[in-house]
Chains A and B, each alone.
Chain A
Amino acid sequence: MPTILSVFERPDHVAAAVRKLKGRGFDDLETYSPAPFEEIEEAMDNKPSLVRLFTLVGGLLGVLTGFAMPIWMSWDWPVKIAGKPFASIPPYVIIGFELTILFGGLLTLVGLFIVGRLAPRKLDPGYSLRFSAEDFGLVVTVPDRDVAEVDSLMRAQSAVEVTLVDG
């Protein structure tokens, strides 16, 4: 199936074009923008990323470690402090809290690298360097019979250029 690349100069134009394409039933979409834009994200309405699972696992691991480690240490080497029990909960809330954030944050980073494919094998065919500088790109894969329609549709949505990148 042919892939069409449209180039835009403004994020709201991209968002409008995405909505138009989705309204026509073309769901195989990809957008490129130099910075994240809320309106494009809203229009794309992507599924939630897998990264948040990494955060959840990291946070739970962190709170577990944050309580288990000091409790084990206090019992392994008992020192009486301020007349409190050897292993008491309130001071370890802090360690549990901090390790939740630390582990959660670190695993989020790992998740970003894994899910975002830090070292891509090859770049998407529609991508070009200018989408990291000032232009916005919208790539859509459509059946052969719809190429002409999408071409005029994108130009009507104030695309500055529309090209066939594949097929």
Chain B
Amino acid sequence: MTSAAAEQASPRSLPQPLTAICLGLVVVGAAAFGYGLTSDPQSAWLAYHSNFMFYATLSQAGVILACIFVATGAVWPGPVRRIAEGLGAWIPVTLVLAAVGYFGGDYLFEWKREGAVHGKEFWLNETRFYVMDLGILAVMTVLSLAFLKASVRPTLKAAAPAATGFARNMIERWTAGWRGDEEEREASWVRTRNLAPLILLLYAFGYSFLAFDQIMSMEQTWYSNLFGAFIGWGGLLSAVAATALISVLLRKTPGFEDEITKSRLHDLGKLIFGFSIFWMYLFFSQYLVIWYGNVPEETQFLYDRLGPQFLIEKGFSVTAWANAWVDWDWSWARLSQDYGWLSMSVWMCIWILPFWVLLGEVPKRTPWILGPVAGIVLVGFWLERNLLIWPSVLKGDGWAWLGPVQIGVAVGFLGAFTLVFLLYTRIFPSISLPERS
């Protein structure tokens, strides 16, 4: 890859209308959150927490995707790896947001407000919770930034002359002690190759604990060993979907035309398809034992979300299914209880729709099909994070997650995340790769 192509794809100025819109969204979000704190602090903090978890897993999993590419020696992604890495620019923000979340802890966690249930005091207490979770996030931030730095360094020298201001200072500092293109590529390869497996392992363990603490402990009497894997896997799928969506959006940007090829989109589509099946597989393997066991301690979590529809005993017998087609009404009525419709939307967005649409080869290779499907998967995960968080606190109120403050906080997060992504991809070259020649 010539440096000229890298320059073209990395214009040093931010795309103007988009940046202004993002800044506007951030202002709207901050205002909505501030207003929410005075009017309905619980909803404001629940919305904050849902969005925090969505973008935390999404951004960390972006780096995880890049680490998987490096650890497996994958060459098919090409500059798609840079897009996945760009998602990781949000990781330091996650750490800050997690620390800010301390102030909303009383609204989110029953154990923090009223004390842990008997037998869980050792685990569910403020000191253990915040030291461990912030520690995990801090370690992940340091390692992820080290990975990103090692990964972009070989491409920086060629980009330096075109850089201005802050970017130029940063690039000059980061490329100090340049040893020549070949040596830098080799060094980058060795360093990323060493860091990748470490980050992958820490994601599996660290984000499992984060999922247990930040989401599962909200319903403190419920537990599931699979929950960490479910959240971590959801993060990875949302990162793949975000990468696919951004690839589709960037496919006509100068420099990217020959890089975002149909076969690369095909591969991303295959990943979304397979990962989505595995997401449902993880859910089902947990759901089945809870359904069969039918112990209140275990069913409570599913009952709050799916409603009684998927837990009753008669609903799944063959005759009951046959009756359901005759007497259609009973199922819809039960779905309207609790968070039933939100749960159905999540299944629709993350599993049913990607499965049937991306089943064939042609839809995976068609940008205007793959892009919207990836976008719907992302919306599905945003809904899923809400679905996992809201019913733990506001039981039975199926539409509590939707409201002006909630939407304001959501667009604020969206604007901030897009802004951070834009800044990162404009400072660092997003096309040329430290490939081993």
Contacts and interface: CB of A to CB of B under 8 A. Distances in A.
Contact of A82 (B294, B317, B320): B294
A131 B358 CA distance: 37
A89 interface: yes
A83 B321 contact: no
B284 interface: yes
Interface string B294-331: 10000000000000000001101111110000000000
Nearest to A82: B292
B292 A89 contact: no
Given A89-B321, A90-B288, A93-B284, A82 B293 contact: yes
B355 interface: no
Contacts of A85: 313-314, 316-320
Interface string A78-100: 00011111111111011000000
Contact of B288 (A71, A83, A86, A91): A91
Contact of A88 (B284, B287, B293, B316): B316
Nearest to B292: A82
Contacts of A94: 288
B140 to A, nearest CB: 34
B291 interface: yes
A86 B314 CA distance: 10
Contacts of B319: 85
Contact of B318 (A82, A84, A87, A93): A87
User: Quick one: which of B288, B292, B318 has the most chain A CB within 10 A?
Assistant: B318
Contact of A89 (B287, B294, B318): B318
Nearest to A81: B292
17 contacts: A81-B292, A82-B292, A82-B294, A83-B294, A85-B316, A85-B318, A85-B320, A87-B317, A89-B317, A89-B318, A89-B321, A90-B291, A90-B292, A91-B292, A93-B284, A93-B288, A94-B288
A160 B101 CA distance: 69
Interface of B: 284, 287-288, 291-294, 313-314, 316-321
Contacts of B293: 82
A97 B287 CA distance: 16
B313 A83 contact: yes
6 smallest CB-CB distances across A and B, nearest first, come from A85-B317, A89-B316, A88-B316, A82-B292, A87-B318, A90-B288
Contacts, number: 36
A29 B170 CA distance: 57
Interface in A28-86: 71, 81-86
B359 to A, nearest CB: 12
Nearest to B319: A85
Contacts of A86: 317
Contacts of B320: 85
A84 B292 contact: yes
B288 A84 contact: no
B325 to A, nearest CB: 14
Given A84-B313, A94-B288, A71 B318 contact: yes
B25 to A, nearest CB: 42
A48 to B, nearest CB: 9
Given A90-B316, A93-B284, A93-B288, 17 more contacts: A82-B292, A82-B294, A83-B294, A84-B292, A84-B313, A85-B313, A85-B314, A85-B317, A85-B318, A85-B319, A87-B317, A88-B317, A89-B316, A89-B321, A90-B288, A90-B292, A91-B292
Nearest to A74: B318
Contacts of A82: 292-294
Nearest to B310: A90
Nearest to A38: B263
Contacts of B318: 71, 85, 87, 89
A49 to B, nearest CB: 13
A94 B289 CA distance: 12
Contacts of B321: 89
A71 B320 CA distance: 14
A63 to B, nearest CB: 14
